[in-house]
Amino acid sequence: MAELHGQVDDRFAPVAQALSAALDAVDVGASAAVYLDGEPVADLWGGYADAARTVAWDRDTIVNVFSTTKPMVALCALILADRGELDLDAPVARYWPEFAAAGKHDVLVRHLLGHTAGLQDWDTPVSVADLCDGPAVTARLAAQAPRWEPGAAGGYHSLTFGFLVGEVIARVSGRSVGTFFAEEVAGPLGADFHIGLAPEHDHRVAALIAAPGGDKPEGFAVGASDANTPQWRRAEIPAVNGHGNARSVAAVQSVLASGGVGGNGVRLLSPAGCERVLEEQFRGTDRVLQSPITWGLGYRLENRTCSWGGWGGSLVLNDLDRRLTVAYVMNQVLWEDDYLRGLSIVMAAYEALDA
């Protein structure tokens, strides 16, 4: 079994076994974390931060987690809503007047969070360079018409989600979503997660390793190699370019599963504010994913769990009833069955909890 580092309560030994098995099978480097009642019960890492397996993955290694960034952005919106500064039932144009163009005056903030706004892509193709120019691509979204009646259907807003919700956060708070997250969430919690990465952290970043099938599937705008560039790291691409490790992902997201209080005693949400994440926005076949899904406010819902994962394999899950948070991140990208590694960590956590 692959060697692991970190700490794990004896009860949660199955999580260590699952991570070790993933490293033996396909992973190069990875970390996993479990929080229960807002406190860490597993904080583990192992493997290597580079494809040549010459640099060990250590306690402070971080990596681009792609769409596991979205729950961080959603949490920021929920915090503003809980404070009474953001009305999720208000038209987006109340906060962002330019957004009313092209018939979008009735699009609500909750439509953005619930992937039902009909703005799942740009009307003309975008490049990685375009994505790194947040104001420009955000302005393009404000100018275009929705693809369907907002609120009437669900379609995963894979790249646009962060620019849309992030702009609302910026208009309400006066700060970019990356800055708001750093000052209001990561900073108070002491969480090593970043939306837009400063250069002094570059030496800690594990390079993403392309999947066996290549850098990116046909039709994808972004590949593993793009995420390894300084241009990508410096930008705020709030749907997909968050950098962190499993500990930081779980530390932030466990706020939802522990009634709004972080592990260090900092309250970010009221209990009622946490419950809002479970407000169902769409149930049915997602027009983009082409699979059944239930969307809440920024998360996939299943009963009283809210979760989401990133392309390539990272994942976070919150169980509000069991007060459980599970996170997994890695540097080996997979195209097919990428979620199975994270799912094995989740299943091991439940096995331990139910033993």
pLDDT digit of tens for each residue in the chain (355 aa)?
Answer: 899 999 999 999 999 999 999 999 999 999 999 999 999 999 999 999 999 999 999 999 999 999 999 999 999 999 999 999 999 999 999 999 999 999 999 999 999 999 999 999 999 999 999 999 999 999 999 999 999 999 999 999 999 999 999 999 999 999 999 999 999 999 999 999 999 999 999 999 999 999 999 999 988 899 999 999 999 999 999 999 999 999 999 999 999 999 999 988 999 999 999 999 999 999 999 999 999 999 999 999 999 999 999 999 999 999 999 999 999 999 999 999 999 999 999 999 999 999 8
CA 119/CA 128 separation, integer angstroms? 18
CA 117/CA 110 separation, integer angstroms? 9
Q: Active-site residue numbers?
A: 67
Residue type, 241: N
Q: For residue 117, which of 76, 98, 85, 145 has the smallest C-alpha distance?
A: 145
Q: Which residues pair with 326 in a beta bridge?
A: 34, 317
Compute the radius of gyration of the chain from its Cα atoms. 19
Structure tokens at 69: 């960034």
pTM: 0.97
With a CB cutoff of 8 Å and minimum separation 6, the contacts of 169 are 73, 76, 77, 80, 86, 175, 177, 180
Structural contact between residues 295 and 154, judged by C-beta atoms closer than 8 angstroms: yes
Check the CA dihedral 129-132-137-139 and report its sign. Answer: negative
Residue type, 51: A
